[in-house]
């Protein structure tokens, strides 16, 4: 089949396996250029098929020579469907990571479900000598409540006043105003249920009760704080409420883990990067475009891999932690530097729908948005026929062929 980008409502409905392979290998090569560090041996990652979870998995597998187990919700190719980018990322991670000589296992399933937790727990019990780290890097718009059978949806909304901001329509390459309305109480509650910390705590509790957490066990989840230009829609919006809940769960778990394992529950505030959700948050694409320009000009830009590698090497397992007054690891300190924020704010004031696409940062943003789905890779001929079955036969492990 010919695989050209197929975008519906700012969402890629397909992925190019060869493109995902190249992007994944590039990230692994970045990790290999970094200095190894003494870190965890056995790691469970929830949401390790893309974005920050994938960068965490690669950093730990290559940086601290860890065994990794990943739980993600991705679709395998079927009929005319190419399979999701995250599916191929899992496949190619397994393919390349054979060279580490360690164990790397993927579970495709709903992380919120008790069955998935049970399945993963049994695997960990049978395979490892306990877990040293759980990374919780899940980003989801829905969560099924397995007690009631209800499907709960999160929303990207403001609190109090509506917020209008510009975003990009990727398919037509146009900018448009996106208005988000204030969330109702129920919508806030639902967003907290989906994107807050309760499922993270369930994972840690399930594994703790089963006695498979090692001395010195750590767990970490990722929050976002952001600056003045995004606060009305993010930190002071429904998503911000969910992040507050995530952070509160870290605080509660931290005390227990310290007592029981001399362990830790950590929150890292990470920088804004391009992800599947970026274009659904008004102002965020413009903010990212200006931020990327500022950080690149100041030579403080990090790739997603470099960012997470530094987190684990320097801050989680190293001696260079930067902590704020709420105990959060401030990996985002470069983004949040007041002079960076000031520069970004000034630039954003001069961005119009007309000049937006001529900014280098916007070009980089869009380029990366395509690349996370395996597109816009120079060496690939996107008019050439792709035999998906051949990729499946050659690369897909038997236990991912569902
Ligand atoms: P992403 O969309 O790239 O990855 C999300 C992961 O969650 C994928 O592996 C996906 O398969 C998995 N997932 C989703 N629903 C699932 C389910 N029901 N069961 C199992 N797996 C499921 O997201 P990301 O941007 O890497 O975000 C990860 C975390 O980092 C989120 O908590 C996000 O808020 C946080 N964060 C992101 C940014 C950013 O700029 N992208 C910045 C700071 C913090």
What does residue 100 show for φ and ψ, rounded to 5 degrees?
Answer: -75, -20
138 domain residue, yes or no: yes
Annotated active-site positions, please? 234
CA of 281 to the centre of ligand 1 (A): 15
| 238: Cβ contacts below 8 Å, ≥ 6 apart | 154, 155, 156, 157, 158, 159, 183, 187, 188, 191
What distance in Å separates the CA atoms of residue 225 and residue 330, rounded to the nearest whole number? 10
pLDDT at residue 5, as a whole number: 95
46 domain residue, yes or no: yes
Query: If you search the block for the tokens 């960990």, which residue do you land on?
Result: 124
292 domain residue, yes or no: no
How many residues are recorded in the chain?
402
Mean pLDDT for back-to-back runs of 10 residues, the chain (402 residues)? 93 96 98 98 98 98 98 95 97 98 97 97 97 97 96 95 89 90 97 98 98 98 94 94 98 97 98 87 91 97 97 98 97 97 96 92 94 97 96 91 55
User: Which atom, in ligand 1's list, is nearest to the CA of 277?
Assistant: 2
232 domain residue, yes or no: yes
Q: Which residues line ligand 1 (CB under 6 A)?
A: 47-53, 71-74, 86, 110-112, 137-140, 222-224, 270, 272-273, 275-276
Domain of 79? Answer: 10-164+187-272+304-338+380-395
| 364: Cβ contacts below 8 Å, ≥ 6 apart | 289, 292, 296
pLDDT at residue 401, as a whole number: 60
User: Nearest C-alpha to atom 18 of ligand 1 is from which residue?
Assistant: 110
Structure tokens at 185: 């109480």
Count: domains in the chain: 1
Supply the CATH number for residue 36's domain. 3.40.50.720
pLDDT at residue 98, as a whole number: 97
Counts for the chain of helices (H) and strands (E), in that order: 13, 12
pLDDT at residue 280, as a whole number: 82
CA of 385 to the centre of ligand 1 (A): 31
pTM for this prediction: 0.97
Is 360 in a helix, a strand, or coil? helix
> What CA dihedral angle connects 90, 95, 101 and 105, to 10 degrees?
30
């Amino acid at each position: 089949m010919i695989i050209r980008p197929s975008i519906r409502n700012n969402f890629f409905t397909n992925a190019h396996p060869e493109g995902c392979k190249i992007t994944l290998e590039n990230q692994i090569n970045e990790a290999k250029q970094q200095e190894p560090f003494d870190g965890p041996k056995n790691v469970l990652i929830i949401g390790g098929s893309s974005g920050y979870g994938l960068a965490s998995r690669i950093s730990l597998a290559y940086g601290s020579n860890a065994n990794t187990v990943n739980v993600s919700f991705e679709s395998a190719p079927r009929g005319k469907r190419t399979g999701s980018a995250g599916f191929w990322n899992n496949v190619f991670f397994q393919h390349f990571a054979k060279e580490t000589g360690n164990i790397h296992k993927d579970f495709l399933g709903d992380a919120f479900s008790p069955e998935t937790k049970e399945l993963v727990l049994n695997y960990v019990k049978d395979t490892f000598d306990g877990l040293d780290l759980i990374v919780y890097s899940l980003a989801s718009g829905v969560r099924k409540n397995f007690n009631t059978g209800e499907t709960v949806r999160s929303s990207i909304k403001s609190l109090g006043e509506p917020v209008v901001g510009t975003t990009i329509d990727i398919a037509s390459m146009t900018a448009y105003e996106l208005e988000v309305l204030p969330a109702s109480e129920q919508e806030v509650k639902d967003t907290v249920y989906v994107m807050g910390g309760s499922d993270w705590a369930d994972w840690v509790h399930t594994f703790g009760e089963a006695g498979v957490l090692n001395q010195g066990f750590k767990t970490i989840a990722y929050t976002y704080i952001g600056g003045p230009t995004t606060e009305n829609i993010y930190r002071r919006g429904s998503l911000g409420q969910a992040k507050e809940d995530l952070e509160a769960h870290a605080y509660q778990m931290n005390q227990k883990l310290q007592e029981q394992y001399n362990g830790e529950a950590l929150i890292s505030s990470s920088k804004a990067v391009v992800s599947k959700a970026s274009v659904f948050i008004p102002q965020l694409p413009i903010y990212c475009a200006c931020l990327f320009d500022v950080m690149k000009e100041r030579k403080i830009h990090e790739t997603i891999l470099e960012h997470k590698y530094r987190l684990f090497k320097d801050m989680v397992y190293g001696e260079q932690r930067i902590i704020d007054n709420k105990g959060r690891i401030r990996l985002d300190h470069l983004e949040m530097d007041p002079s960076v924020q000031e520069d970004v704010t000034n630039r954003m004031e001069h961005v119009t729908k007309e000049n937006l696409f001529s900014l280098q940062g916007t070009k980089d943003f869009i380029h990366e948005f395509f690349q996370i789905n395996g597109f816009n890779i120079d060496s690939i001929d996107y008019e050439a026929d792709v035999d998906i079955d051949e990729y499946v036969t050659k690369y897909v492990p038997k236990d991912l062929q569902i």
